[in-house]
Structure 1
């Protein structure tokens, strides 16, 4: 027999199994330790419970109109306005969950299945980051450093914060926080800004395909940029729509039909210098800066002790009606574009060698230009940079590329090459226009247009601009005469030369004002007819009778703050004022003698809705109801038989396009209107103040320099420069009945003690004495 062979011992797997479990347990312990250390803040600061309760994000302050529209925002880097979950459309939520986190409503911040899948396939079949983790990264974690180790630590911190967020907030709140936090590019911080900037909508108005596009951008808004990479974003949007079909939020048919649609973008970047009510928004900025100085913030430990309009997410509720504001801006732009065309036509170099300046010596023009140069941003910037005055002046004569304002371009801008000095002169050629519209009973300002284009003309002619008011001052003289001398609109005075003695006004010579025509008719005018035709001689007689001191006293009570000397010449409108004060003053006539200070901001709230400020009306009884109504009746004559009658006319075609521009727009207004035109010396300023019972509106038009004006009064009077804007604005308002602008007559007081019905007086006189020559007494 041969030797027996020895059996080979079977290998023992015990040590491998043991090693596996030790390794597995070690991994679990290491992972647990990693998360524990992360939660303790070993790898960097972790948010406290208080910060989880109130995540610190920079929020834009929102300016809200009386009709609930956002007029604009104040922000530095973050243009963010939070939207609660209830205001998010369901299609947006569905798109988000289907694309970013299909099991969102099943997990507690960490998707275990997704994590295992990501580990096994190394991310090739999708990542594992949940919506909650993405929020934690946006809110509380910084960019990882240290390569792979840094990314692991980063992920651990995200997981810890995600689980804490899930305990602290509901699923719906987390979705809202994530969408409110994400930066969609172009200052579209958060879903509300994104919806506005990319589609011109509120989030709850988004269509499914629009929501899908925005959700697609969540992958990387810089890369998936619909303005720079439209085709890429289109395909990404369709991927999102496909995901919505995959998870049952859309049918295949719905998804296919939506994928066939083009992206209908309405890209409107939000800027401080663009959009609706730009001049008003800058006024609000000044208002808020003053308010912040007087109202310290009740700050928590570690927070700022002052409110910040760029970071604190305040809500500023205003009186502006966005619909009336748009009507106002459209009216100003429509007329000013046409008026400017005529001004350019009359002030070409071959027609006027000193254009756009009139009646100035070259030395005076040089002085204006030098002053403008030294007040420019370019001068100040170069001065700060340490440049000498000689170097700065030389730079103003070097040609450079620039973008300038241009009425004839669709964007109202054009690229050109010119010297900075030439650009200064170019901008001097543009007429400026402004409008303010107010509800007299409340003082609520409904529309505020400070100029034609804030980006290029940042001087606000509503509030900053003070110019001679011309004949729009005359109603204050008439009001003093009616109030203190009990004059009636039907009383008459002669249109003859009238001189006020020198000692009454402190000048060496008597004051003998002339009418704008330079002539005297010699006939009698009722006060109503005299105001309608702006007869200077009658106004001079009235201020001589009542005294300048009485007029100044009334004017002060009506809210005019500028310098107003107690001399007779103020009767013709020599004082300077602004639209803000003039509209407030005229509002007193429409409000039955009660002055209400114009108000623009009614309430301020913090980001949580706590009221920080509420406006308290400021009112003052200035005139009796009888006197106020008599003044309204007087000023109705301006639109019935005076310089404002063109508001009643239909459009009449003239021989030249320029005459069409000035003499007629199709207003055809038939309702009662009270008003007054105003024109200053050399046609430097054109005014129109117009009133219906619940809306008082003032318009001013003129050049930046008083030497920039029309040569003739035909074009340069208030009835040509300013009144058309009022007419266009009111016509647009009346086309929208929801605005509720009055078409009715002004309320007549019971037992009116002042006679205003001149026709009735005429009949009574004729019945008493048929031989009376009523023309001699102006009735």
Structure 2
């Protein structure tokens, strides 16, 4: 039964409805206004909108403009709109906000439609892309209903401000630079493209773009790594939406849906990727620079290397770094096998002096020991723990392995692993091209290129010969009787030993003495020039560790780093000019503003003539001496100089190779000097270090794009060379001098 309303009653009810609607609108306006004025919580200022606070990874950039790695809390890198594929933009708009180009931050029609969907049990999100950006930039989604209502109001206000101050393209770019893509703390489309497809965002295909955009609403649920079936289903949904919005044809969408995921998964992690040791050393240096230079952002706060998106330009060549790491990996596998076979069946306790002491030291230096100590465990309890089998993850040259073993046995295992480091640089600029600080950064984080020092052995001999050539104009053709020569006047009289099997008897030239690494001739030259000038030259050539002025330094009894020794040898190839090894070029902020620029130190360590003669001497090592296998085994025929080095008991093996365009230092040895090869044939630098140099150079020479040429020799100094290098001519000169002396009665 219907009650018929009078005209007056109809007017009254209509007015009540209008009053309710007006009151509601006024209430919404009031709430919106109060929110805008920060009554329900502070809102970002216009400056905040111009500079949204998002953790952005700092990038380490190689000399060939590739990203070596990142420092980050969140792995996020920003790109511009033009650096994003249209496929990504189309997938995003079609899936998340198909009216994006038409609304002004809030799509009220979409909002009320979504409310109705949710009322009937079909849960859907009503936020526009701009609102989602507001949430991503300035807050975290609350699970409390009341707080979420307040957040929603704030998102609306921020969304309107964003739309007023930015173009649609800028909003899309900011959004894609901030969203979470799951694995390994990956944020932003640039990091996502690199992580999941090893590409850049401008090269993403429609199916790749659909996969990544599909992850936005649930990076864990739609992860292609953990839930590939969910990821495919979600990707195909995005492709369908792209077809419905006319960004793809039905046929194209069907074709892309049929494709597999096609992942090329490259997670960014501090323990993985290229140049891990280099990146760790560089980070400490950059942090020191930022602190020392007292650099601050526009708001007065100091720069945060992990959050402020700095761009760090280095001299490392991405391709050469890869070649260096490949060379190390290839040969160290073989050398470790040699080492294991060498010790197989022999007691470490009897074959290695103080082996028990080394194990105790290793145990007490371990993280496990420190953790147990902090827990209040007694020494007896700790030792019992180290002798109780436990799950372990061990490094091998064939990949990490999970196993169960006693922690004390894992220390033995690690002690018996050979370590290796190498550095390669351009001698003319000082630019470091490749840096391999160890065998595996995840397991052994100590950098052996710059942070570590080891005894240098015979790689020190060229310094003594260089002093003799520069100060006394000794010719490489000068002959000396290869017999013991005792040096007095520096404490206890000293005469080096010489392995009978390695000693060349009789009169030999200086060039041959260096080539064959003869101790007695080197000691004789040291006796002639004295240790003080040799020490001074070593210091001029950039060796920063302690070098005492004693005769024994001619045989390399002092310690030095691969970094310093490689830099020192570069002076031979650079006309005597020592240029500080340089790996950091400049630092910029995220907007490209210059914060720091490195200026390397340069000094004339020796005269150009002496340096050139030394390159001739060093070539003799390869042509007829201990570096001969570069020619015989590895087929390198171009002009190469170098010097092998082997320390007492074969504890350290060195090779420093010198070419006109590259100087490369390589070191190999165990963590403890007491653990080593027992035979010179295996432990010498020619076997433990030289092959890595050879494999590296073969790769470098094969890649013509690097510009490292084989057909160039060391350039003579402009003033020419006054020291005779032709031994026939030298002998004739000496004979003529002797005849004149006889006639004059000398």
Q: Which of the five TM-score ranges fits, normalised by the shorter chain?
A: over 0.9
Matched-pair contact (CA < 8 Å) for 1:478–1:542: yes
Confirm whether residue 712 of structure 1 aligns to residue 699 of structure 2. Answer: no
Q: Deviations over 1:583-610 (max 9, x none)?
A: 1100000111000011111101112211
Contact 1:141 1:157 in 2 (8 A): no
Per-residue deviation, residues 739-765 of structure 1 (Å, max 9, x unmatched): 111321111123423335325527967
Q: Report the alpha carbon displacement of residue 33 of structure 1 after superposing the two structures with TM.
A: 1.6
Q: 1:669 aligns with which of 636, 639, 644?
A: 636
Q: Does 1:678 align with 2:645?
A: yes
1:381 and 2:348 equivalent?
A: no
Does 2:737 align with 1:739? no
Is 1:426 aligned with 2:413? Answer: yes
Matched, 1:62 2:59: yes
Instruction: State whether structure 2 residue 80 is matched by structure 1 residue 80.
Output: no
State TM-score, norm by structure 2: 0.94
**Which residue is 1:277 aligned to?**
275
Q: Which of 634, 640, 643 is the aligned partner of 2:626? A: 643
**TM-aligned CA deviation for residue 614 of structure 1:** 0.2
Does the Cα contact within 8 Å between 2:456 and 2:559 map onto a contact in 1?
yes
Whether the 8 Å contact between 1:296 and 1:307 is mirrored in structure 2 is no
Query: How many equivalent pairs are there?
Result: 731
Report whether the alignment pairs 1:296 with 2:290: no
TM-score, normalisation: structure 1: 0.90
User: Is the Cα–Cα contact under 8 Å of residues 473 and 723 in structure 2 kept in the other structure?
Assistant: no
Paired residue secondary structure (2:440):
coil
CA gap 1:49/1:532 in 2 versus in 1, 3 angstroms:
same
Shift of 1:126: 5.2
CA distance in 1 between counterparts of 2:239 and 2:602 reads 58
Cα gap change, 1:756 to 1:260, in 2 (>3 Å): farther
* Residues 329 and 397 in structure 2, CA contact (< 8 A), matched pair in contact too: no
- Which one is further off, 589-598 or 195-204? 195-204
Question: Within 2, Cα distance between the matches of 1:600 and 1:518?
Answer: 42
Cα offset for 1:686?
0.6
> Deviation digits for residues 67-116 of structure 1, max 9, x if unmatched?
1111111123x121211212111111111111111121222112233224
Q: Is the 8 A contact 2:504 2:518 kept in 1?
A: no
Question: In the alignment, is residue 396 of structure 1 matched against residue 386 of structure 2?
Answer: yes
In the other structure, the counterpart of 1:697 is 664
Q: Decide whether aligned partners of structure 1 residues 748 and 38 sit closer, same or farther in structure 2, where only a CA change above 3 A counts.
A: same
Mapped partners of 1:418, 1:433: distance in 2: 26
Structure 1 stretch 430-439 or stretch 523-532: which is displaced more?
A: 523-532
8 Å Cα contact 1:505/1:567 also seen in 2: yes
1:53 aligns with 2:58: no
Task: Report the Cα distance in structure 2 between the residues aligned to 1:588 and 1:334, rounded to whole angstroms.
Answer: 30
Instruction: Tell me whether 1:585 sits opposite 2:579 in the alignment.
Output: no
In structure 2, the gaps of 5 or more residues are 740-746
Q: Where do 1:218-367 residues align within 5 Å?
A: 218-300=216-298, 304=301, 306-348=302-344, 350=345, 352-354=346-348, 358-360=351-353, 364-367=354-357
Counterpart Cα distance in 2 of 1:209 and 1:459: 43
Which residue in 2 is equivalent to 1:559?
542
* C-alpha spacing 1:711/1:752, structure 2 compared with 1 (3 Å): same
Deviation at 1:299, TM superposition (A): 4.4
Q: What is aligned with 2:690?
A: 723
Q: Quick one: distance in 1 between partners of 2:474 and 2:17?
A: 110
Counterpart Cα distance in 2 of 1:256 and 1:145: 38
Please give the residue correspondences for 1:617-628 in structure 2 after superposition, counting only pairs within 5 Å: 617-628=600-611
Alignment equivalent of 1:753, drawn from 721, 739, 744: 721
Matched, 1:134 2:102: no
Partner of 2:178: 181
Aligned-residue offset at 1:376: 1.0
Contact 1:117 1:125 in 2 (8 A): no
Structure 1 contact 431–702 (Cα < 8 Å) conserved: yes
Instruction: State whether residues 695 and 742 of structure 1, in contact with CA within 8 Å, keep that contact through their aligned partners in structure 2.
Output: no
CA distance in 1, matches of 2:97, 2:686: 65
8 Å CA contact 1:687–1:718 kept in 2: the answer is yes
The CA distance in 2 between the partners of 1:82 and 1:609, in whole Å, is: 12
CA distance in 1, matches of 2:423, 2:715: 23
User: Could you say what secondary structure the match of 1:274 adopts?
Assistant: coil
Q: Give the equivalent residue in structure 2 for 1:488.
A: 475
SS in structure 1 opposite 2:76? coil
Distance 2:558 2:147 in 1: 71
| CA drift at 1:438 | 0.7
SS class of match (1:13): helix
**8 A contact 2:53–2:138 mirrored in 1:** no
From the superposition, tell whether residues 22 and 506 of structure 1 become closer, same or farther in structure 2 (CA, over 3 Å): same
Aligned residue in 2 for 1:548: 531
1:470-619 to structure 2, matched below 5 A, reads 470-501=457-488, 504-507=489-492, 510-517=493-500, 520-619=503-602
- CA gap 1:511/1:139 in 2 versus in 1, 3 angstroms: same
Partner of 1:390: helix, strand, or coil?
A: helix
The 3-state SS of whatever aligns with 1:50 is helix
In 1, are the aligned partners of 2:449 and 2:562 still within 8 Å (CA)?
Answer: yes
1:441 paired residue number: 428
Cα gap change, 1:488/1:455 in structure 2, threshold over 3 Å: closer, same or farther?
same
Q: What pairs up with 1:17-166 in 2 under 5 angstroms?
A: 17-76=14-73, 78-122=74-118, 124=122, 127-144=125-142, 146-147=144-145, 149-166=146-163
Aligned-partner Cα distance in 2 for 1:198–1:320: 25
2:53 is paired with a residue whose SS is coil
Alpha-carbon spacing, 1:519–1:347, altered in 2? closer, same or farther (3 Å):
closer
TM-aligned CA distance change 1:182 to 1:8, over 3 Å = closer
Q: Measure how far apart 1:139 and its partner are.
A: 1.3
Q: Secondary structure at the match of 2:654?
A: strand
Cα pair 1:277 1:448 within 8 Å, conserved: yes
Structure 1 unpaired stretches of 5+ = 1-6, 651-666, 772-779
**CA offsets, 1:314-359, max 9 Å, x none?**
11111111110010001011110110011111112x2x1116x844
